[in-house]
Structure 1
């Protein structure tokens, strides 16, 4: 098997992708920002550092390790932090992607590159559901930076013949989702309330809707994109909208609780989200890649709640 570079390897998607590739026998190089500790080290993964500004240094790393694939999953994001530190967001989520592509062309043009783009590029969409041809209208520095990177990927593909793809990923969750995200907050709160450790969960707008999928399904889409004979961009989504209220209802019911007894709406947590429905049309990925989500919304919610309950029980047994 070949060698794959992964940025953002310590995150949800990077962890699932690394495990998948390792199981198939690939050599994995986790590319970390210079000076950043990897946190929990993944068994079988090698690590290298790059300061995300030096094209020459990355070119040298690519020449040293000779990867066949490069997955760029690193992004400045914290759930509600789409507007936090726009300079850092623009640098990491946007400009660094141009540097990666430049280094790939300098090192080895046969490296296949996959960029984790975002539904945030559609911002307040002109129509729903969104496909690859829907106009982009980002509303945040995060969405704007992702759109810059997405545009650069397409430009390198057309002008230089690079095998560069963008996966326009809609919200995708799992037990590995960071605690700053609402889905993980809900799952963890269910576990703590069930255990008698908390007596309420404060959330923002319960009617807010998202197109939520299961992270391992979306990682599978990334793999299919780089395995295809032609590089292209694809929307990766379920095509279904669910509200925060629905998530709460299913999550609490799975633990034998009624969410109405525990969930409180908190005005301070409400995000300004006056926009059209952000929901994806993954027809192209289904027809060309043969991809479709395998885990439905209800199963996703139950998986996350079960994982939070098990994690809390494990902590209690170790204390």
Structure 2
């Protein structure tokens, strides 16, 4: 009986100790600044990202670092000391980057095991801090009006084309869509001497946005006016308001067209094939044949 009573408290104490240790997690907030992640050689460190990510590892590391990623969790294990090196975690859905600066050192005597890391989003930290509530008795501020989806999509497309990837704002639900390989934009701005080529397109809910490169084909400056666009579009935004003369550094810009319910291909004016009017006429020989004189009574 004594052995049974004695072993039960030990088992309980061991279980409680294991639970308290397993719940020790270091929280890091991603605010577009690289996060420092120290490693110990031979120990695996877990990083909870809570989104599907791809891990970019410099080729120089080779087998010195083992990296595994599954279900929003990244596992890092250094096999030997590693100098400060930057890893990139890229969201597989939005393309947003999270930067980790790792450094691996040999284990020291008496050094404790490094705890797992949980990466918290900036907006999540603001919610945890109680944004919208007031501790001084004042009424909370009213939420800002929701930004229209075409505006959000246009801003996202512009950031993907012009801004560094690490600064691209996360946009849940957005996805890149394929463009028709035979898409012709000849009738998009028929009154202007510009060449238009579709670059990329994204979709969010019921809206599409297409980025189109415009290049001036004239030796004069061309002013861009959305009223000259031919088609059915929700919004149109030019990166610049005019194009410089052909061959100059300012002869190219990007146009962002948003459409609703379908992509840009269904929003363009239909192409009319040239008609050969002679196909509907009588044969030439019949036209030139002499007319017979009417019979005389």
Bigger relative contact order, structure 1 or 2, given CA contacts below 8 A and separation 6+? 1
Q: Do the structures match in fold with TM over 0.5?
A: no
Q: Of Structure 1 and Structure 2, which has the larger fraction of its residues in helix? A: 1
- State the TM-score, normalized to the length of structure 1: 0.22
Q: Bigger radius of gyration, 1 or 2?
A: 2
Q: Of Structure 1 and Structure 2, which has the larger fraction of its residues in strand? A: 2
